[in-house]
Structure 1
């Protein structure tokens, strides 16, 4: 019983980071930020081209969410950010059966941003601690709390900015990290 309780305590911050966009006093709206985020065919920017690496499998959907790169707004409720006129973008795609897994997100302009990428393996739009994957821009090592905005901050230019995100999945009772090859 102590082991299960310890697992829940240790994993709670990772689950909270994944669920943070849905947390808060307003319900998360799955389509918020999507219209502004969709890259156009032949997109030249400003945009971020996210390459997901280290996926557990080719099941489900990928969801990328873009936030302002500061502690107050990183992983804040999507409704609150949009109502305050702050940057929030969301792109979802089915995981392709083969080839690179890429998502393109249009940006409001060059600047500093923070990105979270979810591998929703069962496509239920909820983070499953034991099944789903999560990754962040700059690929910080995941510990017992969500990463700081400084650790995931990246700078986007006026064109296409490539960002590679290594996915993390639960390992054993307490671990959360990239898959071992």
Structure 2
């Protein structure tokens, strides 16, 4: 019984410690969080991840890559919470090129393990459309009804450029996501 009472109290204390709007250290939520840190140079020598994208449904909209710590607690967690806690979060958003190979570069803080997701926002509205948009992960795990575990979307990045191929998945039927059959 004591544990049930302590858990909500602990959450309240943690939330009370976070800076509020108007206080020093407050970080407003924005779709641009993590973009400055993720921006690659020209040329980029690393440490960075070069993502090659396969299986796009079409050449419309934007691609968005998001890089997270490689653990289940932080993978796909709110970007604001990760940054406020001093954890790694990177975001790159680019228009889908009209032709040629599709690659994104994500600058990382250093060598190590990371997990990432790649989204194909076909209508460029910055919202995931379940029936229209695509998703891919490092490691190309088979997708089910829930998010994959961080370990299945994990990469080991080195000091230089780490190259990763991601196969996009789109909704097929009522409950399935998978690559487009060509």
Structure 1-normalised TM-score?
A: 0.84
Distance in 2 of aligned mates of 1:133 and 1:27: 27
Q: Which has the larger radius of gyration?
A: 2
For the residues of structure 1 that align with 2:74 and 2:51, how far apart are their CA atoms? 21
Residues 28 and 127 (structure 1 numbering): CA distance in 2 closer, same or farther, change over 3 Å? farther
Matches within 5 A, 1:130-141: 130-141=131-142
Q: Structure 2 vs 1, CA of residues 27 and 145 (structure 1 numbering), >3 Å: closer, same or farther?
A: farther
C-alpha distance in 1, partners of 2:106/2:56?
Answer: 20
Give the secondary structure class of the aligned counterpart of 2:37: helix
Structure 1 residue aligned with 2:60: 59
Distance 1:53 1:27, change over 3 A: farther
Using the TM superposition, give the Cα deviation of residue 160 of structure 1 relative to its aligned residue in structure 2, in angstroms: 0.3
Q: Name 1:172's counterpart in structure 2.
A: 173
**Is 1:128–2:124 an aligned residue pair?**
no
Name the structure 2 match of 1:17. none
Structure 1 alignment gaps of length 5 or more: 1-25
Deviations 1:55-75 (A, max 9, x none): 000000000000000011000
The size of the alignment, in residue pairs, is: 156
Residue 112 of structure 1 and its aligned partner are, at CA, apart by 0.1
CA distance in 2 between counterparts of 1:65 and 1:37 reads 9
Structure 1 residue ranges, 4+ long, deviating more than 3 angstroms after superposition: none
CA contact (8 A) 2:61 2:121 kept: yes
More contact order relative to length (CA 8 Å, sep ≥ 6): 1
Other-structure match for 2:15:
none
Instruction: State the TM-score, normalized to the length of structure 2.
Output: 0.84
Q: Quote the Cα distance in structure 1 between the aligned partners of 2:29 and 2:123.
A: 19
In structure 1, the residue corresponding to 2:94 is in which secondary structure? Answer: strand
Question: What is the root-mean-square deviation of aligned Cα atoms in Å?
Answer: 1.1
> Per-residue deviation at 1:174?
2.2
Q: Distance in 2 between matches of 1:28 and 1:122?
A: 22
The residue aligned with 1:98 is 99
Structural mapping, 1:46-125, within 5 Å: 46-125=47-126
Q: Which residue of 2 aligns with 1:19?
A: none
Structure 1 position 27, deviation (Å): 7.5
Q: Would you say the 8 A contact 2:52–2:102 is kept in 1? A: yes
Which residue number in structure 2 is paired with residue 35 of structure 1? 36
